[in-house]
Amino acid sequence: MAFDPSAPRARQVFFERRELERLLSLYGRMVAAGEWRDYGIAGLDDAAVFSVFRRASEAPLYRIEKRPELARRQGAWAVIGQGGMILRRGHELEQVLRFFDKGRFKVVE
């Protein structure tokens, strides 16, 4: 099958620059705290996903998803835990990322 530049392409969802900067800022802070060690980004047909890992060989600890089709209902943003449970959902990225600011993560020596 040859590439046809005039054929309509399926539109993928991805993060805007400001959103990606905020996600990477959170990631850097959590790496500095020793909680996270790797991340992955995926742009899919229905969602953009930022996954964070403790180790690259494991399942993601958290997935931060942007699903524009849910924007008018429960909100386009969600933090999803390891078991697939939705831990936080909202309309704004900052609101959803407050999940990680609750003092739940402390470095213990």
Mean pLDDT of 17-24: 96
Query: 67: pLDDT confidence band, cut at 50, 70 and 90?
Result: very high
Quote the mean pLDDT of the chain: 86
CA angle 27/65/93 to nearest 5° reads 70
Say which residues have a Cβ less than 8 Å from residue 93's Cβ, sequence separation at least 6: 19, 22, 23, 66, 77
Mean pLDDT of 55-77: 88
Is 10 a residue whose pLDDT tops 90?
A: no
* Rounded distance between C-alpha atoms, residue 98 and residue 45, angstroms: 27
- According to the model, what pLDDT value does residue 8 have? 59
CB-hemisphere CA count at 13 Å for 102?
9
pLDDT tens digit sequence for 31-63: 998 889 999 999 989 999 999 998 877 889 999
Is 5 a residue whose pLDDT tops 70?
A: no
Is 108 a residue whose pLDDT tops 90?
A: no
Helix (H) or strand (E) holding 61: none
